[in-house]
Structures are given as C-alpha cells and as structure tokens.
Amino acid sequence: MITAKLVRRIGFFDATMVVMGGIVGAGIFINGYVVAQQVHTPALIIGAWLVGGVLALWGGFIWAELADRMPDVGGQYAYLREAYHPAVGFLYGWVLLLVIQTGGMAAVTVTFARYFLELLPVKASDKAVGVIGLTVLTVINCLGVKLGARVQSILMVLKIVAICGLVLAGFIFIPTAQPLLHPMFEKAPSVSLLAAFGAALVPVLFSYGGWQTASFVAGEMTNPRRDLPRALVIGVAGVTTLYISVNVIYVRALGPVALSKTSVPASAVMRLALGERGAVLIALGIAISTLGFLSQSILTAPRVYFAMAEDGVFFRSVAAVSQRTHVPVVAILLQSLWTAVIALSGRYEQILNYVVSMDFLFFGLTAASVFVFRRRELGAAVESAGRTAESGFRIPGHPFTTAVFVLVSWLVVANTIYRYPGNTFVGVIILLLGLPAYFLWNRQRRVRTNP
C-alpha cells in the first residue's frame, strides 16, 4: 500500500506572506482604541506599538533559530516535544485545537461575516455567512498546499494594500493633524504609569501574535532552513512597520481622546478622510483581512494535529494524507468543523477569554527551549533523526533578548491571572484535561508498537 506524504511546495515569498498573514487579522483595525484607554498621550500610544513590535521581532529571531534547528512539520509543537517532553508538545496541540486557534478563528469568522454583510444590500445571518466563507477556504486548502499558500499570499497582498490605503487616506485627506510627540507623559512617570503602559501592551502583543504559526508548515517548505528564518524576520519587521504607520495615522487624525472613545478607529479615520465611501472601503479591507487570517489558519495549524497523530498521540486518522492533493485533509476538516461549532454556538467570545493565558504560557516555554537546545550543544555533536546539533542562525542579543521575551510572555500570563482569575482557571482546566488524553493515546501507541 502506497502511503501519501506531505510535499515541499511553499517557497520564500509564500512563507513570508504566511508569517504576515498569521499576524494581521482584524486587531489592527480595532485594538487602537483599547491601547488609548490605558495610556493617554500620543507618544505612549505609539510607543506601546513600537515596544510590541520590538518584542515581536525578538520573538521572530527566537523562532528563526528554532526553525533552523528543526525544520520539521508541526513547528512549535516539535520544539516543545524535543526540548521538554512529548507531553508538553501534546498539551500545546491540545489547547491549540480546543481553544487558541479555533476560538480565535471562530471570532474572526463572525467578524468577517459582519463586515462582509455591510457591503451587501441583503440581510443574512452573520454566523451562517461566516461558516460559508470558512467552508470555501477549507475546500481550497484541501485541494493542495500550493493552492492554499497561493490564495493566502493573494489575500495578504490585498491586506497590505488595504492598510497602506488607510495610511495614505489619513495622511493626504485629513490635513489637520493632532500632535504626535507632545506631551510625552500625561503625568509624572510613576509605578501607576508603568502599570498602565504594561496593560496597554497586552492588546498590542496579542495583535502582534501569530507569526509562530508559519513554523507549522516547515515540513512543506522547499528550503525551510533557509527560507523560514528569513521569512520570520522579514515578515515580522514588515508587519511592525504597517502597525506603527496605522497607529500614527489614528493618533494624527483622531487624537488620544477621540481614539479612546471609538471602537472602530479605522472606520472613523476613513469616514473623516473620504466620507461614507471611506467607511465602505475600510469595511471591504477588514473583510479581506479577516478572510486572509482564516486562510492562513487553515493552511498552518492542522499540521500540528497531523504531527501529533503521526507521533501516535492523537486520532490515527488525523495523520492521513490525501493521495491526490498531498495535504492532511482530516486534520484540516477537524479544525474547521470545531471552528464552525464554536462560531454557530456563539461561545467564541467566552473562549477568547481563555486564549491569552494559554498562548503566552507556551510562548514563554517555547522561547525558553532555546536555552535547553544550546545547553545540549555543549554535550552532543550530533542529534538523532537527521537534525543538526549546531544551528546556523543565532539569535541577536541572546541570552538577553531571549530572557526578556520569556519574562514578558510570563508577565502577560501573570497579569491575566490577576485580572481574570476565573477565565484563567477555566483555561488551566482545559489544559490539564489534556494529560489523561495524552497518557491514553501514548499507552495505545505503545501497545501498537510493542504487541
């Protein structure tokens, strides 16, 4: 019996678009007002997005070294599995499927539908329209990784066009500008101001998240050791430039007070610049952006569940690869089905409350794995399974930058526990429920391999 395998068909450009597409969803069009509610001067608002961009770039460097070390399908799952224990990798995949990826996708599915329906002269259920969009993208990604990557790249280019259009419209058609650098502080620097700035960083860091998902498809890149590290660094730097540019326009056009009072700053800017026509154009841009995020999620995350199944710690059918299209169809369908269930149930907003603590917990663990791998280099010249003991890409500023990234990630977790203990508790329960599931599947794997 011939067993189908994944094929390497994702090049450097598509890999870069996957990195950027995993970051840019609806957050940049909305989250500016959340930041302005925490800090109240232009310099601090823009500064929060700048700091977030620097931290995201440091994260990109960390994942670039990890990708160079282990260009395996599953990416972050593989890093955690090899650095700590297979159970740690499994728990990451477990919460990725149940909470992190599907919860975020469900929310974005409905967001896409709401903005898409604004463009149509008909009334329809936003949940139904969202699921239809999700289904179309699922079918596209089941037809082959090259087609899925190409559609994702097209949508990402359209996102870039939409964001650049927002920036240019705000700059050209809103001549009256609010001051950008004065005053620096609303009040004298203090612990409370530092705490407010830290609170402002939480939605910023969440908006910058997603670049790590490009590592999931490393096993389908034509040259992952060369292309993925470059794609991570260039993609994160590109998104940072876009995000800072957009927030400069928000502050320039609206000012901190007005920005903090509107939950749709992108629409407010475009309405000032081009009237109702501008609001329609930005609704189109947001619809495209959310659709692109869904496309990227369907392309990348199922490879984690596929890798888990290949390791024998998940349903064996999830490791099935289509003979015709060479993609893990069952893994793709599983994620999209669960996303649709969450979207139709209306529980996505509640599930999103569990995402932050879980996501940043594994951010910190994954970044800390660099210390584990570097320590192993000192005692081993060759690793098994065809992996190299020596990494070609090295993180600039390590160990300082890596340690700061780990610290910030876990401070976000601590802040979430302090502010939302109930939500964090539920997230931890979902995480811990993965332990008996792991030991059950692992026991079945041992029985199969050692009858």
pLDDT band at 449 (very low <50, low <70, confident <90, very high): confident
Q: Mean pLDDT in the chain?
A: 90
Give me the amino acid identity at 92. Y
Decide if pLDDT at 305 tops 90: yes
Residue 56 pLDDT: 94
Which of the 8 DSSP states describes residue 321? -
Token pair, residue 94, equals 């477990």
Domains in the chain: boundaries: 12-349
Sequence-separated (6 or more) residues with CB below 8 Å from residue 271? 278, 279
Residue 122 pLDDT: 80
pLDDT band at 391 (very low <50, low <70, confident <90, very high): low
Decide if pLDDT at 11 tops 80: yes
Length of the chain in residues, anyone? 451
Which of the 8 DSSP states describes residue 10? B
Residue 188 pLDDT: 67
Decide if pLDDT at 383 tops 50: no
Report the 10 Å Cβ neighbour count for 430.
17
Look at 147-151, 157-161, 419-423 and tell me which has the smallest mean pLDDT: 419-423
pLDDT band at 3 (very low <50, low <70, confident <90, very high): low
Residue 393 pLDDT: 86
User: Helix or strand or coil: residue 382?
Assistant: strand
Decide if pLDDT at 421 tops 50: yes
Q: Compare 355 and 360 and report the one with higher pLDDT.
A: 360
Residue 353 pLDDT: 75
Q: What's the CA gap between 92 and 85, in Å, rounded? A: 11
pTM of the prediction?
A: 0.92
Confirm if 318 and 308 have CB atoms less than 8 A apart: yes
Decide if pLDDT at 342 tops 80: yes
**Rg of the chain, C-alpha, whole Å:** 22
Confirm if 331 and 98 have CB atoms less than 8 A apart: no
Fold of 12-349: Amino acid/polyamine transporter I (1.20.1740)
Q: Please state the rounded mean pLDDT for residues 109-115.
A: 92
Q: Phi and psi for 179 in degrees, rounded to 5?
A: -65, 140
Residue 451 pLDDT: 64
Decide if pLDDT at 175 tops 90: no
Which of the 8 DSSP states describes residue 388? B
Decide if pLDDT at 270 tops 50: yes
The tens digit of pLDDT for each residue in 38-80 reads 998 999 999 999 999 999 999 999 999 999 998 888 899 999 9
Look at 8-22, 73-87, 188-202, 307-321 and tell me which has the smallest mean pLDDT: 188-202
- Within 328-433, where are the H helices? 329-345, 348-379, 400-419, 421-432
Q: Please state the rounded mean pLDDT for residues 154-183.
A: 87
Decide if pLDDT at 382 tops 70: no
Residue 249 pLDDT: 94
Decide if pLDDT at 196 tops 90: no
Q: Phi and psi for 244 in degrees, rounded to 5?
A: -65, -40
Q: Helices 191-208 and 42-69 meet at what angle, rounded to 10? A: 50
Which of the 8 DSSP states describes residue 3? P
The tens digit of pLDDT for each residue in 202-252 reads 889 989 989 999 999 998 999 999 999 999 999 999 999 999 999 999 999
Which of the 8 DSSP states describes residue 404? H
Decide if pLDDT at 386 tops 80: no
Q: What's the CA gap between 202 and 265, in Å, rounded? A: 18
Residue 388 pLDDT: 44
Look at 30-44, 50-64, 79-93, 376-390 and tell me which has the smallest mean pLDDT: 376-390
Q: What's the CA gap between 295 and 288, in Å, rounded? A: 10
Decide if pLDDT at 9 tops 60: yes
| Maximum distance among all Cα pairs of the chain, rounded to whole angstroms | 76
pLDDT band at 387 (very low <50, low <70, confident <90, very high): very low
Q: Please state the rounded mean pLDDT for residues 335-351.
A: 88
Residue 380 pLDDT: 63
Residue 385 pLDDT: 46
